Amino acid sequence: RVAWQDWYTTVDREFHALQKQCKTVFVAGLSMGGTLALRIAEKHPDDVAGLVLVNPATQLPWNAHFAPLLRHFIPALKAAVGSDIAKPGVEEHTYDVTPLNATNELLKLCTNVNAALDLVICPVLLYRSAVDHVLPPSSVQTVLRQISSEDISERVLARSWHVATMDYEKEELFAGSIDFFGKHAGSS
């Protein structure tokens, strides 16, 4: 019952709340969270000190493009999208199904974000999993090709899958993010 604009409004509200409390604000996100982080950077180019993106969703798999039609006939697919994690025994808490209205809204969000990626000018640290069973490689390629930032670092995660923040290289990812924040905190 919510649209992508509702997701963005929530993130934007929290971004502004952080601005009231902090001199410098960075934005980070995994998958759809990365898409929303990109949207914040597009809308507030002078206020985002930097972005940390982990497998951002800007392009969805080919079968997601059936959601606008299928959602009129079935509410959800029985296959869930979560837990794409290489490390045994680690599970992401997700829905048991993939709601097609939400998938449709994510497609709309991607379209809107992709249309304005050139407005992203802040430093970017982008983590990309070498193996990602959720998003196609074109998702990261779109970001790297279209953003206008002059400071872009891409790091490939060789052992972690889509949910890299819970996978083998999570400590490297977190430590690299903290270093990135420290490097760019004084330049904003």
What does the pLDDT look like over 60-83, one tens digit per residue?
988 888 888 888 898 888 876 777
Q: What per-residue confidence (pLDDT) applies to 114?
A: 98
Instruction: Report the greatest alpha carbon distance in the chain.
Output: 52
Which is the catalytic residue, given 84, 139, 160, 162? 162
Which is the catalytic residue, given 84, 129, 132, 184? 132
Residue 118 annotated to the active site = no
Q: What per-residue confidence (pLDDT) applies to 80?
A: 67
pTM: 0.94
Q: How far is 34 from 76, CA to CA, in rounded Å?
A: 23
**Contact in structure between 136 and 59 (CB atoms under 8 Å):** yes
- Alpha-helical (H) ranges within the chain are 4-21, 32-43, 67-70, 100-114, 138-146, 170-185
Say what percent of the chain tops pLDDT 70: 98
Q: How far is 148 from 8, CA to CA, in rounded Å?
A: 21
Residue 31 annotated to the active site = yes
Q: What per-residue confidence (pLDDT) applies to 29?
A: 98
Average pLDDT score over residue span 177-185: 96
Residue 139 annotated to the active site = no
